[in-house]
Each structure stands twice: as C-alpha cells, then as structure tokens.
Amino acid sequence: MLDRPPRSFSFLVAVWLALPLAAQVTVKKGAVVYVGSASNTTAPATVEETKLRDATPEWKKIQADGIDPDSAQGKQLLTKMNTRISKAVKDVAETEKRDMVTRKDDLSDKKGRDVVDLTDKVVAKLGE
C-alpha cells in the first residue's frame, strides 16, 4: 500500500504548478506584440506606436511626399518601416532585459509587475 504524500508536499506542488499562471498578463484582442508572449512574461514593457512610426524615415517620406499608404509605394515603405521598428524594439528589449513588448494600450497587468515604457529608447535607436 502506498502512503499519501504529506499535505505540505501537495501544497508545494500546487504552488509550483500555479507559477506560470502568475506570470501572465492580459493583452487586448488584436494586440500588437513586438517581442515575447503574454503567457510567460516576467518583465513586460510597452511602446507608443505612433511615436515610433513618426520617428522613421519611411513614415516621414510618406507624410512629406503625400504618398497613399495603400499604394504600392506606400505599402513598400510601410513594410520597411515595420521591419525597422521591430528590429529596434527587439534590440532595446534585449538591452533592457524585457521579455515582452507590446503597444501601450494593448497591455493589462493586475499583478503589480513593473511595466516599463521603452518608447524613448526605441525612438533613440531608430535615430541611430
């Protein structure tokens, strides 16, 4: 006959199994997540998408030349812009040891983690 594990052991197993759930944050439907995953983040961060967009040469060209974003040229510029922003966000997230980055209004964290805004650092990276 097998002995039952002590209650303290069962409690520790329950706590251990709940740890991944404690790391979760909530992202809105349709959220833009540049880096990482909401299901396992321990160091989330946000960025203001419009400030990043406005800092790129591609967006500046679209604005200055009146290029329609839905035109072939506009779509090419937007693709380059998005690639540039994604790379800059990833680089800054790695430097700042952030395992998830999303748009500012796409993240909800009720667990009290330190959610850092990386916008200014990413804008600086885009300007390099």
CATH class of 7-126: alpha beta
User: How many Cα atoms occupy the beta-carbon half-sphere of 34 within 13 Å?
Assistant: 28
Separation CA 39–CA 64 (nearest Å): 40
Structural domain spans, the chain: 7-126
Separation CA 62–CA 90 (nearest Å): 24
Q: Which residues of 10-22 are buried (b: 16+ CB within 10 A; e: fewer)?
A: eeeeeeeeeeeee
Per-residue model confidence as pLDDT tens digits over 14-63 = 444 444 444 467 777 888 888 988 778 888 899 999 999 999 999 999 99
Q: Model's pTM, two decimal places?
A: 0.76
Per-residue model confidence as pLDDT tens digits over 65-112 = 999 999 999 999 999 999 999 999 999 999 999 998 988 888 776 666
